[in-house]
Amino acid sequence: MQHHYLYEHRTRIKLLELGIDVGALNQHLQQLWDNRPRTPSFWRAPDDDSSTVQRFLRFHAEDGTVSARNYVGQIHFEGHMLHLLPKVFYPGEELPDTIPDDDPRLQAMHAHLFWWLSYAHKLRFPRSLATFSALPTNLLEVLILLFAQYTHELLSRTHYQHYQEVSEDLGTLRGHLNFGTYATYYATGQGHRLPCTFDSFQPDNRFNRILKYVAYQLLNHTKQTHTQQLLQEIHFQLDEVADQLAVLNDCDQVQLSPLFDDFRVVLDYCRLFLADSGPLAAHTEEVRVFAILLPTEVIFEEFIEGFIRTHLAAAFHVSAQTRDLYLATATPHQGKKTRYFQLRHDLLLSRLPAQEKTKPLVIDTKYKTLPVTASGSITPGSVAQADMYQLVSYALRRGTPYTHLFYPDSLRHPAADIPFNRLDYLVEDKLSGVSSSISVSAHRLPVTAPEAFVYNAITTTSISKAIHTQESILMSRLNTVLSAH
C-alpha cells in the first residue's frame, strides 16, 4: 500500500509518476459523486447540490497533477491510499510520500477530527476526549472508533428488539392457531400440542444481524486496540443473533420505531460502511476501491454548533439552520405575491432568560483560512464581500444589529490573542430614520492546538492534554465574544 497526502487546496501530486490511472480514478470519483445521498445530510455539503461534476479532487490537465478540494478523508484506489487532510493543519511543506501511517503528526490531526466530530449534533456521538489511549491515524479509524463508542454505550443501556412472526408448538393458545397442522396433531393423538403463530419481541432480527456483521467486519479494518476491544464486546453482546452477510439494501429494509430512535445513528453508520464506496463493500482484494469523504465545512459548522449547545446552553437558546425568513417578495405580472431568496442562518442565538428588549445574535460559520499580517492580526479587507452582504441581509431581515462570522484558525497562524483575531465592521443603517448601525464581527477561533504538533514531543498524553487545554481556550473565547451584546 502506497500512501499519498494532500492538503485541501494546498498541495498537489503527479498521478502518472505514482502509477495511478488518471482516467480510471476520475471515473471512480464521478461514480461516487453521482451515487451520493440525494438529500442534505452530514455526508453531503449543501453548496455542492448544483454541481454535476465530482468535487472531491481537482484534476489539473496542464501539469498532470491532482489536488484536494473541500473534502477530507481517504480514497483507497488500486494499491494507493490518498489521504485528504484539512487545510488548517498545512505546515507549509508537504508530507513526504514515505511518511509512516503512524506518524505522530497524523495522529494529532485525526485527534482533532475526533474532537470536532464528537460535537456533531447530527451524529449524536458521546463526547469522550479520554479515548486517546490509542490515537486514530486516519479518518476511517476515527469513524470506526466513534461508531464503536456510540454503539457500545447504547447496547450497555438497551438492546434493539423487534416484533417477529414466530411459529411454535405451545401448551396454551397464543396468537392464532394453525388449524391444518393442529388437525394432524389431533388425529395422531397429540391434541395437547397447539401450533401457534404469533408476534414476539426478538433480539434476532434484521437490524441486529446487520449490526453484528458490520461490527465483526470492522475488526479487520482497524488497528486500534481500544476500538478492537469495543467491537469485540459489541459482537459478544449480540451472541444470540444469527451470523448473516449484510449488504446496503438490507439497511433499507429496516423500519425503526420511535422507541428506538437512538439506533438510527447506528443504522446510518452501517449504511456508510456498507455503501458501494464503503470499506465493507464487496471488492476483490486485488482491486479494492473505497472512499471515506466528509465535507469539511459541514464538520466545522457542526462542531461550532455542538460546542455552543454544550457549553453555553445556560446563556443562550440555540437554533440551527433557521429558515423562517425570506429576503424579498415579488408580484409577477397578474400573479400573487411570492417570497424569494430564503435565508438560512447557521446559528441563531437568543439570550436566556428571554427578555423583550434583547436582540438575537446571528452567526455564520465559514470554513476559510483568513490571511493574517506579519504581526498575526487579520488582514484588513480579507473578509469576502459576499459574506458581508450575506450577514447584512440577515441583520436587516432578522431585525438585529449583532452578527458574527466564525472562521477557524490554522496551525501556522493560531488565534492566540483576541484583539489580533477579531475584525469589527460597522454598517450604517439609513433606513431606520435614527442613527444606528449593524455590527458584523469576523473572528478566527482557536480550534487547533499547536502544542499537539511539537514533533519531537508528540505522545498520546501530550495530544490529549493539548486538546483538553484548547477546549478550555475555545470556551473562554466564545464566552467573551458572545457575552459582549
Q: What is the mean pLDDT of residues 436-453?
A: 91
Residue span of the structural domain in which 177 resides: 162-202
Render pLDDT for 312-349 as a digit per residue (tens, 0 to 9): 988 888 888 888 888 888 887 777 888 888 888 889 99
Q: Is the pLDDT of residue 128 over 60?
A: no
Domain boundary among 47, 66, 98: 98
The pLDDT of residue 162 is above 70: no
Going by DSSP bridges, is the β-strand pair 338-342/326-330 parallel, antiparallel, or unpaired? Answer: antiparallel
318 and 441 share one domain: yes
Look at residue 22 and give its three-state secondary structure.
Answer: helix
Question: Is the pLDDT higher at 134 or at 271?
Answer: 271
Residue 455 has pLDDT above 80, yes or no: no
* Averaged pLDDT for residues 405-433: 87
Residue 251 lies in a domain: no
Count of CB atoms within 10 A of residue 319's CB? Answer: 14
The 10s digit of each residue's pLDDT in 64-116 is: 899 999 999 888 888 888 899 999 999 876 666 556 666 788 888 888 988 89
Q: Determine, yes or no, domain membership for 141.
A: no
Which sign does the torsion angle of CA 188, 190, 194, 197 carry? negative
- Confidence at residue 135, expressed as pLDDT on a 0 to 100 scale: 64
**pLDDT(126) > 60:** no
- For residue 451, pLDDT over 60 is answered with yes
Residue, of 282 and 174, whose pLDDT is higher:
174
Tell whether 64 is covered by a domain: yes
Range picked from 192-201, 390-399, 429-438 for highest mean pLDDT: 390-399
pLDDT tens digits, 181-221: 999 998 888 988 999 887 766 777 888 899 999 999 999 88
Residue at a domain's end among 98, 131, 154: 98
Q: What pLDDT score does 99 carry?
A: 64
Specify whether 52 is located in the same domain as 179.
no
**DSSP 3-state assignment of 425?**
strand
Residue 90 maps to a domain: yes
CB atoms within 10 A of CB 133: 11
pLDDT confidence of residue 286: 46
User: Where does 296-369 show beta strands of DSSP type E?
Assistant: 316-322, 326-330, 338-342, 345-351, 361-365
- Asked if 89 and 179 sit in the same domain, the reply is no
Residue 187 lies in a domain: yes
- The pLDDT of residue 235 is 93
Residue 357 lies in a domain: yes
What pLDDT is recorded for position 254?
Answer: 84
pLDDT in tens, 237-286: 998 888 989 988 888 888 887 777 788 888 888 888 888 677 777 554 44
pLDDT of residue 8: 93
Dist CA 257 CA 424 (whole Å): 49
Q: Are 214 and 270 in contact (CB under 8 A)?
A: yes
| 3-class DSSP assignment, residue 237 | helix
What does the alpha-carbon distance between residue 275 and residue 148 come to, in Å, rounded to a whole number?
A: 18
Q: What percent of the chain shows pLDDT beyond 70?
A: 86
Beta-bridged to residue 328, according to DSSP, are 340
Q: How many domains does the chain have?
A: 3
- Exposed/middle/buried for 181, CB within 10 Å: 0-12, 13-18, 19+? middle
pLDDT over 80 (residue 485): no
Do both 71 and 181 map to the same domain? no
Q: Give me the residues paired with residue 165 across strands.
A: 199
Same domain, 83 and 188: no
| Domain C-terminal end among 50, 70, 98 | 98
pLDDT at residue 98 in the model: 57
- Phi first, then psi: give them for residue 113, nearest 5 degrees: -60, -40
Query: Model pTM?
Result: 0.81
Portion of the chain with pLDDT greater than 90, in percent: 27
Q: State the average pLDDT over residues 307-314.
A: 91
Indicate whether 334 and 422 sit together in one domain: yes
Q: Are residues 333 and 416 in the same domain?
A: yes
Same structural domain, 442 and 347: yes
Higher-pLDDT residue of 191, 353: 191
d(CA 230, CA 111) in angstroms, rounded, equals: 18
Is there a single domain that holds both residue 46 and residue 168? no
Confidence of residue 146 (pLDDT cuts 50, 70, 90): confident
Q: Give all strands of the β-sheet with 194-202 in edge-to-edge order.
A: 162-170, 194-202, 176-177
Do 198 and 322 fall within a single domain?
no
At 9-50, the pLDDT tens digits run 999 999 888 888 899 889 888 888 887 655 445 555 656 656
Average pLDDT, the chain: 84
Residue 338 pairs in a beta bridge with 330
What order of strands is seen across the sheet that includes strand 71-77?
2-7, 80-85, 71-77, 289-295
Helix (H, G, I), strand (E, B) or coil at 149: helix
Burial class (CB in 10 A: 0-12, 13-18, 19+), 179: exposed
pLDDT at 133 exceeding the cut of 60: no
3-state secondary structure of 289: strand
Does residue 229 fall inside a structural domain?
A: no
Residue 343 lies in a domain: yes
